[in-house]
Structure 1
Amino acid sequence: MSEDRFASLSAFAETIDHTVLGPETTLADVHVCLDEAAEYGLNACVPPCYVAEAAEYAPEVTLATVIGFPHGQHATAAKVAEAERAHADGADELDLVLNVGRLLAGETEGVCVDVADVVDATPLPVKVIVETALLSEEQKHTAGELAVEAGADYLKTSTGFADGGATVPDVELLSEYLPVKASGGVGSYEEARAMLDAGATRIGASSGVEIVRGHPDAES
């Protein structure tokens, strides 16, 4: 039997990107997210407008932000500028929304260039959000292939702003191509473990504290 690399509380906590991305998010909300991330050993994912303040407030927390969020339909140049600004402001990782409309239209070259330009803009790891709930099986495979071709580091299932979120079958499919961040609708330890067992290596969730508190080694 293979070793369970997420068995320990600390290793499990490090998979979680504790997230605050709603349209009403304030700087105070970001501070709460960062405080909780620091306390429980989580990463954090915050809106781009707060990255500089977040990096200064909690430099010990691995900090992700989003690019082209939530629909991925920004111009490529705008996404590149967002990525460069996030890097300058202190982000550690970028979660980039794929242009699903172009993918659905079969414009694969444009989708690949869009992702590749952001990947090339900074040295930061890029997670490509493919919004699996909006794609067919074939389109999910295409998204995986394009992300690999563009040089991305991860695939991410969902923004959390479309109907549907992470599922075990989608994690299994995407993990054929790149490491996967399962995001959207993951709200408990059991759900997070199911995603990790299916092949995910990261979990994106606004309920990161509740998830990590569900770990068998967490203090009650």
Structure 2
Amino acid sequence: MDIKSFIDSTYLKTAAQAGLDENQNQEVLKTFVNEAIQEGFKLIMIRPEMVSLARKIVLDTSAKLLIGTVIDFPSGNSTIETKLNEASQAITEGADELDFVCNYEAFINGEIDLVKSEILKGTQLALANNKIIKWIIEVAALTDQQIIQLSALIKNVVLTHFSEADYNAVFVKSSTGFYKTANNEPNGATIQSIIMMLENASPLPVKAAGGVRTYEDAVAMIQLGVKRIGTSSAKEIVHRRHNQNEY
């Protein structure tokens, strides 16, 4: 299994979250990008303010590494216009893929038309610029029924407004990995949540993110049917595979 083709190698910490100043965090980002190039990863996932720096490194090294970024991260409750402006800026600065945080709070509150509108407009923007888009639904904030309903809502908006040729470019993604849960409950992808997403988002692809830290975790998600895995443990996952192959 070419597990690298499934992995979005992720670094989404702010300087404050990493316990660093801004310059130090930029140095961490540079190391992260260069390691991703050396490892032959397909894509990195970083914050929007880091996209231009990452793009410069990729251009300077003539690497094939793709750059993904997050939009309205991690809360997802900004206006549609704010999300579109942030996404447009990221595209201008060199992002290849856009992971939007869906306004799951609006969905929980019954503001369904608002959610449908942002799914439609965000997807239109991404596809018009030949970008892959992923909608993060934040499964840890939702009940099982809400996971099912929101996955189906995204699917239905895409199937209603876009052609079959576009489906593979619009993902439903589990989590930001930054949601604060009570009692140390999982804040990211679980087997149960991913199964519900796969059953209700199809034919749209699903990305598992949050809590995928080991080779075994990654293989389990791939065997369920996910097409992408977002993880900050990409290097460890890949090297675990290599170690297995040596024995």
Tell me the TM-score normalized by structure 2: 0.81
Tell me the TM-score normalized by structure 1: 0.90
Equivalent of residue 96 in structure 1, options 97, 100, 109: 100
Q: Does 1:170 align with 2:170?
A: no
CA contact (8 A) 1:64 1:93 kept: yes
Q: Does 1:114 align with 2:99?
A: no
Task: Give the whole-Å Cα distance in 2 for the aligned partners of 1:183 and 1:207.
Answer: 11
Q: State the Cα RMSD in Å.
A: 1.7
Equivalent of residue 6 in structure 2, options 5, 15, 23: 15
The AA in structure 1 aligned to 2:140 is A
Task: Give the whole-Å Cα distance in 2 for the aligned partners of 1:205 and 1:33.
Answer: 13
The AA in structure 1 aligned to 2:10 is T
The AA in structure 2 aligned to 1:129 is I
Greater share of helix residues, 1 or 2? Answer: 2
Structure 2 gaps of 5+ residues are 19-24, 159-168, 182-186
State the number of aligned residues.
211
The AA in structure 2 aligned to 1:94 is L
- CA shift for structure 1 position 219: 7.3
Change (3 A) 1:150 1:67: farther
2:46 aligned partner: 46
1:58 aligned partner: 58
CA contact (8 A) 1:73 1:99 kept: yes
Task: Give the whole-Å Cα distance in 2 for the aligned partners of 1:39 and 1:149.
Answer: 40
Q: Does 1:30 align with 2:43?
A: no
2:227 aligned partner: 201
Task: Give the whole-Å Cα distance in 1 for the aligned partners of 2:210 and 2:32.
Answer: 17
- CA shift for structure 1 position 181: 1.0
Q: Does 1:161 align with 2:178?
A: yes
The AA in structure 2 aligned to 1:81 is N
The runs of at least 4 aligned residues of structure 1 exceeding 2 Å deviation read 149-152, 216-220
Percent of pairs with identical residues:
33
- CA shift for structure 1 position 198: 1.2
Q: Write out per-residue CA displacement over residues 114-147 of structure 1, whole angstroms, 9 at most, x where no aligned residue.
A: 1221111233111000000111122111211221
Equivalent of residue 143 in structure 1, options 150, 165, 172: 150
Q: Write out per-residue CA displacement over residues 85-138 of structure 1, whole angstroms, 9 at most, x where no aligned residue.
A: 111111110000011110111111111111221111233111000000111122
